[in-house]
Homo-oligomer: A and B are copies of this chain.
Amino acid sequence: MLPDVLKGDFRAIARLITAVENESAQADAWLRELFPHTGHAFTLGVTGAPGSGKSTLVDRLTAEYRRRGDKVAVIAVDPSSPFSGGAILGDRIRMQSHSLDPGTFIRSMATRGNLGGLARTTADVVTVLDAAGFDLVIIETVGVGQDEVDVARTAEATLVLLVPGMGDDIQAMKAGIMEIADVFVINKSDHPGADRVEVELSALLTLSNRADGWKPAVVRTVATTGEGVAACIDAVEAFRKFQESSPARQARRIQVQKERLLELVRSRVARQLLGRPQGAELLERLAERVAARELDPYTAADELLALGRDGPGE
């Protein structure tokens, strides 16, 4: 399978991603082999509230990057929640318009695995797509949950979508937004209220004080018509260029890898534990005792950890 993945074969890529999502032990070995072939792809996070037009914008960005000659992969992280909004099904169907294009790969991730966070799974899927030769990997998330924000944070550049009518809310979202947005996109900018969002956002940005010194760009788009999409890409590329010469970039990369390693350690410990017959059995027995209140969960967790420490794992 790996040679086919490296050649960019879509079927092989899809199968490997499924193995990664299922957290098979074999997937680890494959990811390890692929890693030396990575480092080429640029990762772009796109995040925004439900209804902000994320998927339409991602669709447009994909088309424009394709026109410029890039191979593009899209990972659409749809939370498995009841509230992800009605647009997803329709949008995913629309994205199929790219599905006959051998330079565009689209994958929805409905949920994280049982044993680890969404950020870890997404990072592993990026490893696969990077090795498969994609120039750009777009990670689309609904930026409403903590998990999804974590995912956006792992991308090298992040677009945050706003829409008119959010004016009142901008003050409330200061903290989180400043931290993750490299480029702000005011989508649906033909709707009334676009000017107001821009004014409030600009006021907020004068307070921006990022460690790397970047001043987030603000771009207006109408994703449904494609207006502003080229300007949006220009802003991303400007940030990319800025980053290349920024000493803060290295620090950010190391931080991202630290979080990734911790997440890998966490999910492996759980997998190794469940991978042994005594592990799964002990977990079941301890959970029963905790549910019956015969044992507190903190002591039970220590017992599980002690088992994990005894042996070599898988």
Contacts and interface: CB of A to CB of B under 8 A. Distances in A.
A288 B181 CA distance: 24
A302 B290 CA distance: 31
Interface stretch (A222-230, A237-245, A257-265): A257-265
B146 A83 contact: no
Interface in A45-67: 48-50
A169 interface: yes
A301 interface: yes
B83 A49 contact: yes
Given A31-B298, A261-B290, A261-B297, A144 B305 contact: no
Contacts of A290: 257, 260-261
Interface stretch (A2-10, A85-93, A186-194): A85-93
Interface stretch (A68-76, A94-102, A212-220, A267-275): A267-275
A149 interface: yes
A106 interface: no
Contact of A111 (B143, B146, B169, B256): B146
A299 interface: yes
A276 interface: no
How many copies of the shown chain assemble into the complex?
2
6 contacts: A79-B146, A81-B145, A86-B168, A117-B117, A305-B313, A308-B309
Given A266-B267, A283-B262, A298 B49 contact: no
Given A115-B262, A118-B146, A172 B83 contact: no
A172 to B, nearest CB: 5
Interface residues of A, number: 86
A148 B160 CA distance: 21
A80 B149 contact: yes
Q: Which 8 A-B pairs have the closest CB atoms?
A: A145-B145, A86-B169, A35-B296, A264-B301, A82-B177, A144-B144, A82-B176, A82-B173
Contacts of A266: 266-267, 269-270
B261 A48 contact: no
Contacts of A88: 172
Nearest to A147: B147
A69 to B, nearest CB: 25
A144 B146 contact: no
Given A79-B149, A261-B287, A32 B296 contact: yes
Contacts of A258: 283-284, 287
Contact of A180 (B82, B177, B270): B82
Contacts of A260: 290, 297
Given A35-B293, A85-B172, A144-B145, 4 more contacts: A39-B293, A146-B147, A147-B147, A250-B291
